[in-house]
Amino acid sequence: MPGRTNSCRSGAHRCAALFRSGRTCHGKHRGSKCDNTKRQAGSAEADTQEGPVRKATKTQNPGSHTRPNDTSMPDAPDYVTDDSIMTQMLPDLRWEKWRERGNRINPEPPSLVAKVCREEGRGELWLGPLPTQERMPVITQTKHSIQIYCFMNYPEDVLLEDGGEWGMSIPDTLVFRCEMSKASARLKDMQALMPYLLNSLRQGDNAYVHCVTGVSRAPRAAAVIGAKLMGITFEKAKYIITQVRNIKCDRSEKGMEGPWTDTVLRGGETNAAAPTGFSCRAPITGTVTVHATTLVNGRARAICHGKVGATGARDLEDGVTTTKSIEAAARDIGGTFCATCKSSLRASLILRINNIY
């Protein structure tokens, strides 16, 4: 926490006191010296924690869907299009807010600012500081599939201070830029990333949005995303953020708001594309194109069906071979993967396809 003395000379060690949310304090003090007693889990709670689980999420009565894995295509989780989940979680999340605003070198840890799936650790938007090697263990307590940075340079090109750490990309994520300081860029950047983000979070993926400290540029981007994701106003989304995180609200920050946010929020919705299989024409001869497909009237229909330049309708017009997983498709079919289908899928599945094809 800000203002506390660092009992570790190297500055590498962090407080491991467990909060009721399931996260660790990670402050620059000994665990035995942590005075965040109101936020800490009791011994019974600590004994029952199986990992970085947020207690407030458990009260949402999650469904029975399983987490995605490398060999199956589980049902997409149920999602909401309002802020009901976040509203119920806010009382607990407020306990994790620092008493003071963080700074470039000692920023406030990541904050959950939007959630649309009731299952633990799914459908979440997190707001925080620039990822670095030292901060990565805390950031990756939540499995992210999308990273959004809100400045011009790539994260790896950002230096915290002379002789200090450089920024990093979160492993196994799709990385997007939303340059909030540049009026001519932020609308275009946000419109480009929004379809991926909405589709992904509504299917259980998580996203991490950040600037350098997580108090100025990224909170405005997160408010736009949260408003679109949960079907609320920009001002209400920003209010939720202020309840869980200390942010700046000065004149320069106000300049990053305005009419462009309304343009984004008025934009059309994208339907969540959740494939049930992966198909190609049959028999398999020569080079084939594999499509992500859903079942329509008992037949495999490509997700790219009807889109400009897509070949799914023609490729799957007659005989069709279908597999249940992308791994099985790569092993049993081979060929190439349809770029149009891929662009319509959730981020975590796009990453799996990129690793295989």
Residue-wise pLDDT tens digits, 29-76: 555 556 654 444 443 343 333 332 222 222 222 233 333 344 445 566
pLDDT the model gives residue 32: 55
pLDDT band at 26 (very low <50, low <70, confident <90, very high): low
Greater confidence, 187 or 25? 187
Percent of the chain surpassing pLDDT 70? 79
Instruction: Name the maximum alpha-carbon separation found in the chain.
Output: 70
Contacts of residue 53, defined as CB under 8 A and 6 or more positions apart, other chains included, come to 22, 120, 121
pTM, two decimal places: 0.79
Residue 344 CB: number of other CB atoms within 10 A?
Answer: 22
DSSP-based three-state secondary structure for 289:
strand
pLDDT the model gives residue 103: 96
Q: What is the mean pLDDT of residues 273-279?
A: 92
pLDDT band at 209 (very low <50, low <70, confident <90, very high): very high
Report the C-alpha gap between 120 and 65 in whole angstroms. 11
Is-contact 155 148, C-beta < 8 A? no
**Exposure of 309 by Cβ count < 10 A (0-12 exposed, 13-18 middle, 19+ buried)?**
exposed
Closest CA to 52 of 120, 102, 117, 133: 120
pLDDT the model gives residue 52: 28
Least confident of 15-29, 185-199, 306-320: 15-29
Contacts of residue 353, defined as CB under 8 A and 6 or more positions apart, other chains included, come to 326, 337, 342, 345
> Per the structure block, which two tokens stand in for 252?
């320069």
Is-contact 123 134, C-beta < 8 A? no
Report phi then psi at 350, rounded to 5. -60, -40
Percent of the chain surpassing pLDDT 90? 69
Reported as type and span, the H/E element at residue 197 is: helix 183-201
pLDDT the model gives residue 177: 98
Is-contact 149 210, C-beta < 8 A? yes
Greater confidence, 112 or 38? 112
Is-contact 315 292, C-beta < 8 A? no
Domain residue limits, the chain: 1-51, 65-266, 277-356
Is-contact 75 120, C-beta < 8 A? no
pLDDT the model gives residue 75: 63
> Per the structure block, which two tokens stand in for 145?
């599939």
pLDDT the model gives residue 60: 29
Report the C-alpha gap between 270 and 273 in whole angstroms. 9
> Does residue 353 register a pLDDT over 90?
yes
Report the C-alpha gap between 5 and 79 in whole angstroms. 43
The CATH number given to 65-266 is 3.90.190.10
Greater confidence, 51 or 208? 208
| Residue positions counted in the chain | 357
Burial 104-130 (b: 16+ CB within 10 A, else e): eebbbbbbbbbbbbbbbbbbbbbbbbb
